[in-house]
């Protein structure tokens, strides 16, 4: 169904330029009406390069526009809280980038204010929209490999020079809040559960400033004594991304599936051999913005809700806390 939906972009960011403007315009009736940047020149250049009619440096100016129904927030991570709360109070629906905030308290407040204002809050965890992960979820749900025992996630790569800004220099960067948080969301989606505890060791100093992690090896314990190992990082060129889920009767193997692009394969290995699961790939962000658009027009929920964003942040911060203290950290998702 066509839903005319006017969008404002809060943040003249790389991810908006590369993926999200296209995803908004892929929705019937989806239009990008304005962009906010702190820098008037950068905002003007971004608007012109991307065919956006209006640009502004004032959040109030953008939020007071009556032709904007929803905003997409992709500014620096420490700005998401106040921008989400301001947008909700102005009656705009919010698709916010991860991490929703830098503390669980702030992220929970974002959810509370959006609920109170009657607007939809989505978290842009793209991976749960991938055909690969949707297929893996179905296989687990159907009991194809029996009861779960363990899993491994490989999501380490090499951060391109163009992306070596805040990710490796700022305290709100680092691989956990940037990338491992997506793995956490994917695991929550696949298992339909939250982990109960976390342990992590991190690396720093190869690409990131000291004190900001550029590599992580982590273990999450899920209910039922299911252990999950995660490797994430910015410093290892040529490493393939993937996931393996081990059950009592077989293994699900996902290859090249920790990607923003619609790629990858899924197979099941069991007593009958190895079988590749047929997949019909689609653009992950098109699906995410499609579900979000339906949700703001009263139909269904975003792929990842605000509550999902609070949960992924709580678990990501538990990993950071474990790396800092050297202890296994119990997780209480609010
Ligand atoms: P960028 O670094 O491209 O943009 C972040 C902010 O930096 C922008 O809001 C912009 O400020 C400012 N900025 C951009 N270019 C410049 C420049 N040349 N000089 C000075 N400032 C600049 O960030 P990303 O697109 O990589 O990430 C943005 C958010 O999106 C983060 O929260 C990140 O975690 C998330 N993200 C999510 C992804 C996903 O797939 N879900 C993928 C990648 C990122 P201003 O708006 O004021 O111009």
- Choose between 2 and 313: higher pLDDT: 313
Domains of the chain (ranges; CATH) run 5-124 (3.40.50.720), 127-284+314-330 (3.30.360.10)
CB atoms within 10 A of CB 330: 11
Question: Would the CB of 259 count as within 6 Å of ligand 1?
Answer: no
Q: What is the mean pLDDT of the chain?
A: 97
Give the confidence band of 1 by pLDDT, cuts at 50, 70, 90: low
Q: How far is the CA of 240 from the centre of ligand 1 (A)?
A: 25
CA distance 214 to 232: 8
The residue nearest atom 43 of ligand 1, judged by CA position, is 15
Q: Which of 198, 227, 201, 228 is nearest to 215 (CA)?
A: 201
| CA distance linking residue 69 with residue 87, whole number of Å | 10
| Ligand 1 atom 1 nearest Cα | 13
Instruction: Calculate how far, in angstroms, residue 45's C-alpha sits from the geometric centre of ligand 1.
Output: 15
DSSP-derived 3-state class of residue 225:
coil
User: How confident is residue 3, by pLDDT bands cut at 50, 70 and 90?
Assistant: confident
CA of 230 to the centre of ligand 1 (A): 25
> Percent of the chain having pLDDT more than 70?
100
Tens of pLDDT, residue by residue over 215-257, are 999 999 999 999 999 999 999 999 989 999 999 999 999 999 9
Q: Distance, CA 162 to ligand 1 centroid (Å)? A: 11
Ligand 1 atom with the shortest distance to the CA of 35: 46
Residues in the chain: 334
């Amino acid at each position: 169904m066509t839903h005319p939906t006017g969008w404002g972009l809060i943040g003249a960011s790389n991810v908006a330029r590369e993926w999200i403007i296209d995803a908004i315009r892929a929705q019937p009736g989806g239009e990008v009406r304005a962009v906010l940047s702190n820098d008037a020149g950068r905002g003007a250049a971004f608007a012109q390069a991307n065919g956006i009619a209006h640009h502004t440096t004032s959040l109030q100016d953008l939020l007071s526009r009556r032709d904007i129904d929803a905003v997409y927030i992709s500014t620096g991570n420490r700005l998401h809280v106040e921008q989400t709360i301001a947008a909700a109070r102005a009656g705009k629906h919010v698709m916010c980038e991860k991490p929703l905030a830098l503390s669980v308290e702030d992220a929970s407040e974002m959810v509370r204010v959006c609920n109170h204002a009657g607007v939809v809050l989505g978290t842009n965890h793209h991976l749960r929209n991938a055909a690969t992960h949707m297929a893996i979820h179905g296989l687990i749900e159907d009991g194809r490999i029996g009861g779960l025992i363990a899993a491994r996630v490989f999501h380490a790569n090499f951060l391109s020079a163009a992306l070596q800004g805040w990710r490796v220099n700022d305290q709100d960067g680092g691989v956990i809040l940037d990338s491992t948080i997506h793995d956490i969301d994917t695991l929550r989606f696949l298992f339909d559960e939250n982990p109960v505890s976390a342990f992590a060791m991190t690396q720093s100093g190869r690409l990131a400033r000291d004190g900001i992690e550029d590599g992580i090896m982590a273990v999450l314990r899920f209910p039922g004594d299911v252990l999950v190992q995660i490797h994430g990082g910015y410093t290892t060129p040529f490493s393939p991304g993937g996931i393996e889920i081990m059950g009592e009767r077989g293994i699900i193997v996902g290859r090249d599936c920790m990607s923003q692009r619609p790629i990858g394969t899924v197979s099941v290995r069991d007593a009958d051999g190895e079988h590749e699961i047929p997949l019909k790939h689609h653009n992950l962000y098109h699906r995410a913005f499609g579900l979000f658009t339906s949700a703001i027009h009263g139909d269904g929920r975003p792929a990842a809700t605000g509550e999902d964003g609070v949960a992924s942040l709580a678990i990501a911060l538990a990993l950071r806390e474990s790396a800092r203290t050297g202890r296994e950290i119990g997780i209480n998702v609010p």
